[in-house]
Amino acid sequence: MSEITTHVLDTSVGRPAAGVNVTLDARESAGWKRIGGGATDADGRLRDLSPQPLPAGTYRLTFDTRAYFASRQTASFYPEVSIVFEMTDPAAKYHVPLLISPYGYSTYRGS
């Protein structure tokens, strides 16, 4: 069974993005089902997204970027960022970092 973690970095200030609310959903035949979530810590990390290891499947991480930038009194273009990805190896760790700025974002599969 797999594990999903994330790390959010605010490239506009060159620091971790603390306090970003993140949700984790799993795709099921009837649609998306919320299975976990939390907020990033002072280092911008969220290590305990799901209370249990997960099977292979399609998952979605949604980051509340509007609230994060509003807390910094910064206007932003994207109210949220959703990343949909497939876990194919139930034995692997899936680390999905997010780099954000008020008017852009990028992501990749980390290690």
- Give the number of residues written for the chain: 111
User: What's the mean pLDDT in 69-87?
Assistant: 97
If pLDDT is split at 50, 70 and 90, which confidence band does 46 have? very high
Burial tier of 37 (Cβ tally within 10 Å: 0-12, 13-18, 19+): middle
pLDDT at 54 over 50: yes
Rounded to whole angstroms, how far apart are CA atoms 41 and 83?
20
Rounded to whole angstroms, how far apart are CA atoms 61 and 5?
10
CA-based Rg of the chain, rounded to a whole angstrom?
A: 14
pTM over 0.85: yes
- The CATH class given to the 3-107 domain equals mainly beta
